[in-house]
Structure 1
Amino acid sequence: MKEPFAQRLGRIPPYLFRELDKLKAKTKGDIIDLGEGSPDQPTPMGIVNSMIKAVARTENHRYPTYAGKISAREAVAAWYHRRFGVKLDPGKEIAMVLGSKEGVAHFIWAFCGPGDSIGISDPSYPIYPNQVWLSGARPVPVPLLEENRFLPDLDNLAKIGNKIKLLCLNYPNNPTAGVADLGFFRDIVRLAQKYGFYLLNDCVYSELYFGKRKPPSILQVPGAKERSIEFHSLSKTFNMAGWRIGMAVGNKGLIQALLRIKQNTDSGPFGAIQDAAIYALNHSEKLAAETRKLYLRRRNIFCDELAHFGWQIPKPAATFYIWTKVPNKSNSYNFALSLLKYCRVITAPGIGFGRYGKGYIRFALVQNEKRLRQAAKRIGRWLS
């Protein structure tokens, strides 16, 4: 019997992390899951307590406003100014979203359609190309190569600049952990201005950096706001992945386009969660510093343990991902299956993030230090 579903569903491949869940369910034994980037730590109690108090407020029992509470948008604007030195109008240049995943998806639906070509980093978080396909537009792969520090090659971008409507960026990057500096963003903005395309930067890992160099916002570049929208999430920085709260900021026209879709699909984040987000943003410096210390320790433990067995892995400068070539030029998917079969460790094969992820593997540092040591020892002994 022919399936009665819309043809657009046939354009998107099975979702990588759903496939990892299926493999996990079929595998017996003590499994260490380093596949999906879902933080394992509890949400800080200050955020939880602010949510508990907010739930009792009757104002939060009604439909929220589509753009989000003005108090939440003001907190975002204040945080943006403290963190990036960027001024935003809370009334026009900020929208609260149900996590960056929802915001990115709805923006792509608002901005892209049949006949449009959209530049998508390859490898990339699968949401970007999949949502482009669902919109009826066509993804144009933009390779991220290790020799270019996993940044798009500017000469290659210039060749497609007059063909694409939008370029989707994600820095700090998932899955590669690559970091863009302000100079790169200046070059990208210049290209966008020259060729007329727009820019989306998914900046959800901006607070997970190691060292003194803070990842910038693309909006720090003069003139970038004319052609850019940027997304942030509280999921990673504050261990709030299940809360589904984030924000879109940038060009007021792009924000309004996003809201036109949201007005017809959802009613915005629950008001009490927005109140908790205000607390998180107002205390972000202390809370984010604690999160960075946690992942710095985990990064060092995991990489150093594997180094004892001869697998030298570069330590990333940001995110909680380890992105590395698989040993002996193995097939990344088969290597991931072998790690699950012989080591009981779930990972994300690079090929699942795009053609240029071939030959790479991604580890998410979302287990405690003891479990990360166990995972590294299992892998190291198997490789030995």
Structure 2
Amino acid sequence: MSIEVDIRHKQGSFALDARFRSEERLTALFGSSGSGKTTLVNLIGGLIHPTKGRIVANGRTLVDTDQGILIPPHRRRVGYVFQEGRLFPHLNVRQNLLFGRWFTPRRERIASFEAVVGLLGIEHLLTRRPSTLSGGEKQRVAIGRALLADPQLLLMDEPLASLDDARKAEIYPYIERLRDEGGIPIILVSHSVAEIARLATAVVVLSDGRVTASGRAGDVLRHTSLLPQTGPTEAGALLDTRVLRHEDEYGLTVLEVRAGPLSVPRLDLPIGAPLRVRLRARDIILSLNPPETISALNVLRGTVSSIDEPDASSVDVTVDCAGDIIVARVTRKSVEGLGLTPGSEVHAIIKSVAFDQQTFGGTC
């Protein structure tokens, strides 16, 4: 799985100059409104022709202006899911799904109708019309239609933007299954840090038509300086954990991380289930000594690896906790008072109640 982009494009007064390469399963294009996310994804999909540049997906060149290569959209084998499902209202769900197959030659059709329907959990919807579906159900059908065209790349342009939190929670697990089991690279456009923290394995940050950062999701999301449009409170670390046990008498679940156990509000997951957790930088307190007689249940021991000052008053302290990298957002006064420097031994303290739906991802 790979996507390579090196393009320049001018559209009115807006100029896009984007370069990145990703070999991850789900790459999120992240940025504020007007940063160039949708323009970039439309260039990859062939809905816009770039002024100059090159786009390669899975080793297949889609665009190379120097070589005169410009594969038309219908031959790119790219699936596209928009903000709204854009289903055909006069067709039922089965007919909408099968419509995607018309764009793929019969001899090249690989995707199993039954497998796609099962993957997305839409078996019970096949005879219904789009007008009777919820927003989340419409998006799952739209994803299925794109998959049944046997794409070599799937583009998703803010597919959850028009959904409320309940509908988003409904569709998240299906996008995660698609990421983990679908076998094709996905590019997801989003302006939500919580969303990409849950779904993305790689992140490309766009600002004013330029790529300001790209890399693995955990590496990008822990740097507040790379996410200026969202504010410093959005930054944090991603940890891959497993459910160790449940403490039902306290309404808690204990997760296993490298540095020790992590207590969070009770989760409806089986013992051993993998889970991605985001530790927000604003929720972590640092101490030089092991804390005693405090209410916080989570204390992770680690070593300061770096100290960055994104603004005049705040400092990001990166801590290596037995291989798990976390970030604490503290004041300059606190850093000076504790005498923190790279190499300092510290204890990171996180309250269990700091974990909420914004911090839990799906299975890793």
Give the TM bin, normalised by the shorter chain.
under 0.3
More helix by share: 1
More strand by share: 2
